[in-house]
Amino acid sequence: MRLPCLVSAAIVLAPASSALADGDAVAGAVVFKKCGACHTATAPDNRVGPSLIDIVGRPVASAPNYIYSPAMKAFGADGKVWDETLLRTYLPAPQSLVKGTRMTFPGLKSDRDLDNLIAYLKNPAAAQ
């Protein structure tokens, strides 16, 4: 009875570890629907939240014409950049990293969703 359990565990683990290495922009576009009520990643338009165009590598709180919360401005005051590491820290629990942020999103907990989302944010055109 134990053997089938081990086999299925191995099958489940294998694709998860390869996804960590390389996100899928098409799957990331689906994850981005959670963000799309407040953000676009394909145009410089600000909505409830700032445009996320070219967000990977962009300085914190730098979208033109967007009025950030004092908390987000303070968080970016030392010149921080939204690199992959910072996005992976922020997105699972935005209010924990930036206390007082106006981004009222509970967080994206799945590593796989984060991999795919970041692949999409880097290259939204790949999902079209």
C-alpha span between 74 and 98 (Å, rounded): 9
Contacts of residue 22, Cβ cutoff 8 Å, sequence gap at least 6: 115, 119
Tokens, residue 48: 């409830």
Residues 54 and 87: beta-carbon distance below 8 Å: no
Whichever of 8 and 104 has its CB closer to ligand HEC, that residue is 104
One-letter amino acid at 89 equals T
Whichever of 105 and 111 has its CB closer to ligand HEC, that residue is 105
CB of 15 to ligand HEC, least distance (A): 22
Distances in Å between the Cα of 70 and the Cα atoms of 20, 23, 53, 80 are: 34, 33, 22, 15
**Interface residues toward ligand HEC, by CB under 6 A:** 34-35, 37-39, 48-50, 52, 55, 60-63, 68-69, 71-72, 82, 91, 101-105, 108
Whichever of 8 and 80 has its CB closer to ligand HEC, that residue is 80
Chain mean position to CA 75: 17
Whichever of 8 and 62 has its CB closer to ligand HEC, that residue is 62
CB of 122 to ligand HEC, least distance (A): 12
CB of 34 to ligand HEC, least distance (A): 5
Chain mean position to CA 55: 9
CB of 79 to ligand HEC, least distance (A): 12
